Structure 1
Amino acid sequence: MEGDKAYSLRQVSQRIGVEPSYLSKIERGLPVTLSEEKIVALAGELGIDADYLLALGGKISDDVQRIIKNRPELFARIVREMQRMPDAVIEEKTFFQSMAATLDRLHDLASIGAFRFPANGEAAFWTEQVPRILGLAPDTPPSLAAIGSGLAAESAERLLRVTGEHLSGYGAYRCEVRTLTNPPATLLVWGCAEDAGSGPVHLGIVQDVTHYAALRDQIRSARDELQLKVDEQHTEIATSIRKLNEEIRRRHLLEINLQVVNRKIARQAKEQKLFFRKHAFELRSLMTRLDPAGGGAQSDGGMKPAIDRILPKIDDLGDFLTDPEAIVPTLADTDVHRLLEDVRSAFAFDAEEAGLSLITAVSPSLPAMVRTDERRLRQMLTALMELFVANTEWGAVQLSACVSPGPEGRLVLSVSAPSAKVPVDETLFSADPGDGDDRLSLSGPVRMVAPLTRLLDGDLTVNHTPGAGGSVVLSLPFEEGSGQEPAAIPGDKVSRAALVVEDAPYNRLFARRAMERTGFEVAEAVSGAEAEARLRERRFDVILLDIQLPDIDGTELAKALRADRESPNRETPVIAVTAHADLSDQDEFLRAGIDGIVTKPYEMEDLVAEVARLLADRPQS
């Protein structure tokens, strides 16, 4: 327009009805105030948008102002949104139409409709999706009552109640309703209230959620069914737990009863063991009365062979109920030659009655004395000889002894025969034959052979030929004896005196016979009171003290003796002669002042050896 006289300041100012000086100020960028009419006329002269020119002048046209006043919130949001939009998008004339069309398509896809109900009822609005979702006519006037008319009665009442509770306080709500359509649809109605200046405006959305409601109902049904099953299983588990607890209580009571029974059995077993040990010892004591020679010499009438048969059986009786772990071997120099001859002689009468021969074979290399447990060895050989003599049909039963070759030679003892009435194998020594087994009568004598062999760190081997006889071989650790005489009581025999404190008469007799054979003068006491009287009368060289006395415990008697400064026997050695001698008992005995222990049943030689040990360095009385 530059150079065109029609657009000079004067010509333009005349056409729009203003002074040229106004346009000159506008041209120079100076502030000028023009009316809306003049600005619109100027825009028309210049061919530019009037709203643009008004905005440059800080003005808004009256018609736009009226529109904004009618919908201030809407236009405020639009303007703020436009602030973030690129100019190219804003300038596109079809933008808002395109946006509205897109929203309509999205609403159709999601079955969502929106509504706006002012409090005065004027300018009520809903999108076209709302009547379609409710099953209403498209031209139905929009209102909350119209929405309620498309709902089931209960749903309409619920919607009215919910909106009344929340909209009065400008709160938001969510309400699920059912339509009157066939089939009924499930809808969700969200809403809230806004202050529009002239009163509250009810804004909301209606959404068809029939499909999701069906899925929800299926899930609820499945959950309820699952809960029912869980409850049933819980009941079953609770019942099972209750029964289990009852069973646990029953078994606990059974266990308590079983413990009582076990304690009773253990007590009875202990009593039985003590009974057997006591009576075995008393039987051995009685046997000393049947030996007229008093020292083992052969007597007329064959009494010694009978005694040699009885004594091992007494030891078997004492060991039968004793824990093998509790049996302690007593090693001493032993004349195996004499031992084998004693065992053979003990079965001479039985062999003659059965028409059998007895043979003893001893290797020339076997030493005169071997260090072993003579008592246990006699038990084992006696049991094996009894087995073979009773089970051999013809021929000879041979008892042999030798030393195996090699640097670590062992003492090898065997009993053999060429024939057998019933087979003899390892099972006879490892377990009891069952009922009806022909070997049942043979199992008794050999019950102790295997455990006694293990006690002496030995091995047992059974050799058997079907249809013929066999042998049993014992292989034991070998150590040659010293050849020395057994321990003897030092000093002049007639000058020694012993006090035997024992309430059982046969036990007292056995101890007295053992001490008298070694030259002791023996005094006796059957109770603690009598023992205290004897101990005040004179001095003794040794005291043999039973622990279980009828009126006092033997340890208490020993304590009183050691504490009595006036007693002539305060320093006299005391030997506890008892069937109770485990580690705890031994400690108690030592604390009581007891010097030695001999455990019942015992051999006379064991008692004499313990007495000799204690008197070795003591002066005579």
Structure 2
Amino acid sequence: MLTNNGPKYFKIKITILDNIQDGFDGRIITLNDVTEYRVEIDNLKKEKESIEIDNKTKSDFLSNISHEIRTSVNGIIGMTDLTLMSNLKSDQRENLSLVKSSALNLLDMTNSILDFSKIQAGKMKIDNAEFNFKELIDEIVRLSTIKALEYKLEFKAKMDESIPDTLVGDSIRIKQILDSLIDNSIKFTKYGTIALTIEKLESIDKKINLKLSIKDTGIGIDKKDISKLFKGFSQIDNKDYTKKSLGTGLGLCICKGLVEMMGGKIEVRSRKDVGSVFSFNILLERGKKYSNTNIVNDKKPKVLVNNSISRRLNILIVEDDKASQMVIYNLFKKNGHICEIADNGQEALNLIENKQYDLVFMDIQMPVLDGLQATKIIRKSEENSNKHTPIIALTAYALKEDKEKFLSAGMDNYISKPFNMSELLKVVNSTIKKDDNNNTFLGSKQNDIDGDSLFLHLL
């Protein structure tokens, strides 16, 4: 109802009154003024929309910042790695190793901020896929033992043998949680032991409830400080302990968010100067094929994968960042491959029109024409021919949905910046082998090297 003071809202209730004997028939109409309630609802809706817009703006901003930082870090790490491959004095090698270590720490902080932002904005997704749980734990135990030894600590692990080998869940996020909690224990333990225990609490149909605990003999936590542990950007003041870097203060907050997204709960028990126990439970499904073979302490030698490339490659590097150009160019050129550089997608199209390449590294965010558009045009031009140019997306965009977007655009593979040299080699090798299998005529190309292998040296 429009009034001089603005619209008024009413809830109307109609009650029927009738008396057949007396011939009475009537209605009682009740109007209840709900203007304040309606205005409050409208204000809440507007506030919700404003928060969603702010969250999207913040998420986009952090995503872009992450992209720029990862691109810069890729240049630092890549050029450092290339320099470390040259003849250096011991002090120069040590200095460059510290540069690389600092760059990797910066990358870890960037990833933490991005994960925290995604959890806060509700954009973090859990990827449920079948994986070998015991192989995952075996790898975590191996790496954690090495980390602990660096600080003269002992690392122990014990796992319930009845836990199936194959489970369904997000193995990457499970590893992230365990790595973060174990790193924290190592960080705040002067001497003694870090122990990982994995128990099977119960099985409900296909689901298994697992409890994972990390116990340490570290400095412990005061009761008054425990409430601060799982809050974002919160750190406990330990003036008497400065052994290792304290980080961003986001690790435990991210762990809590990930555990809750997997249907679990994270808890902590601690005593000052005695130690702490961080534990969490997660619900995972049994895989289609599973056994009870315990391989946590499996000491069988790892099978080395032959990552050699048996022919000289014509490579096109499509990248607008000069440092990234130099890293990739020098790495492949040094190992006998022929490399050319395009600063954007349009330059790449001009080169590809006149020459066939064995491999294209395609950046995504570039001026003039971006990597996605360039890839779609390349694939369109190949539709009526037997030609197929392998394209690897090399980008600082690191989200799972980004990878799916790149592959759906026609790219053959994907690697995110900053890349590990061995990981880059593995991606290149698998992409080339897949392309060779699909095009058997490639084995007779003129750029084969008489059966000898060219190796991309691992750092």
Is TM more than 0.5 here? yes
Please give the per-residue CA displacement for 1:142-199, whole angstroms capped at 9, x wherever unaligned.
xxxxxxxxxxxxxxxxxxxxxxxxxxxxxxxxxxxxxxxxxxxxxxxxxxxxxxxxxx
Asked whether the equivalents of residues 329 and 455 of structure 1 are also in contact (C-alpha less than 8 Å), the reply is: no
Please give the per-residue CA displacement for 1:559-618, whole angstroms capped at 9, x wherever unaligned.
32234469999411123345286669846853x433334456665555444433332241
Describe the shift of the 1:251–1:258 C-alpha distance in structure 2 as closer, same or farther (beyond 3 A).
Answer: same
Output the CA distance in 1 between the equivalents of 2:260 and 2:85: 33
* One of 374, 382, 392 as aligned partner of 1:557: 374
RMSD across aligned C-alpha pairs, in angstroms?
5.6
Describe the shift of the 1:388–1:359 C-alpha distance in structure 2 as closer, same or farther (beyond 3 A).
Answer: closer
Query: Which is helix-richer, 1 or 2?
Result: 1
Describe the shift of the 1:531–1:261 C-alpha distance in structure 2 as closer, same or farther (beyond 3 A).
Answer: same
Output the CA distance in 1 between the equivalents of 2:261 and 2:295: 16
1:359 lines up with 2:144 in the alignment: no
Describe the shift of the 1:314–1:505 C-alpha distance in structure 2 as closer, same or farther (beyond 3 A).
Answer: farther
Please give the per-residue CA displacement for 1:78-100, whole angstroms capped at 9, x wherever unaligned.
xxxxxxxxxxxxxxxxxxxxxxx
1:527 lines up with 2:344 in the alignment: yes
Please give the per-residue CA displacement for 1:21-67, whole angstroms capped at 9, x wherever unaligned.
xxxxxxxxxxxxxxxxxxxxxxxxxxxxxxxxxxxxxxxxxxxxxxx
1:399 lines up with 2:194 in the alignment: yes
| Aligned position for 1:472 | 278
Output the CA distance in 2 between the equivalents of 1:375 and 1:254: 34
| Aligned position for 1:320 | 116
1:271 lines up with 2:61 in the alignment: yes
How many aligned positions are there?
364
The structure number with the bigger radius of gyration is 1
Please give the per-residue CA displacement for 1:265-314, whole angstroms capped at 9, x wherever unaligned.
4233222233224424532542333445459xx95356276566555334
Output the CA distance in 2 between the equivalents of 1:548 and 1:365: 45
Asked whether the equivalents of residues 285 and 507 of structure 1 are also in contact (C-alpha less than 8 Å), the reply is: yes
| Aligned position for 1:463 | 269
Counterpart amino acid of 1:469? G
Secondary structure, aligned partner of 2:315: strand
Q: How does 1:428-577 map to 2 (within 5 A)?
A: 428-432=228-232, 443-451=249-257, 462-465=268-271, 468-472=274-278, 484-485=302-303, 488-489=306-307, 491-492=309-310, 495-508=312-325, 521-536=338-353, 538-564=355-381, 570-577=387-394
Shift of 1:425: 7.9
Asked whether the equivalents of residues 402 and 412 of structure 1 are also in contact (C-alpha less than 8 Å), the reply is: yes
TM-score by length of 2: 0.57
| Aligned position for 2:439 | none
Identity %: 14
Query: Which is strand-richer, 1 or 2?
Result: 2
Asked whether the equivalents of residues 411 and 475 of structure 1 are also in contact (C-alpha less than 8 Å), the reply is: yes
| Aligned position for 1:170 | none
Shift of 1:321: 1.9
Secondary structure, aligned partner of 2:392: strand
1:340 lines up with 2:167 in the alignment: no
Structure 2 unaligned runs (5+)? Answer: 1-27, 202-207, 240-245, 285-293, 437-441, 446-459
Output the CA distance in 2 between the equivalents of 1:423 and 1:381: 24
Counterpart amino acid of 2:124? E
Shift of 1:543: 1.6
Output the CA distance in 2 between the equivalents of 1:456 and 1:253: 34
Structure 1 unaligned runs (5+)? Answer: 1-229, 349-357
Secondary structure, aligned partner of 1:462: strand
Please give the per-residue CA displacement for 1:492-513, whole angstroms capped at 9, x wherever unaligned.
2x61343232223455566667
Secondary structure, aligned partner of 2:154: strand
Asked whether the equivalents of residues 528 and 552 of structure 1 are also in contact (C-alpha less than 8 Å), the reply is: yes
Counterpart amino acid of 1:524? I
Secondary structure, aligned partner of 1:470: strand
Shift of 1:551: 0.8
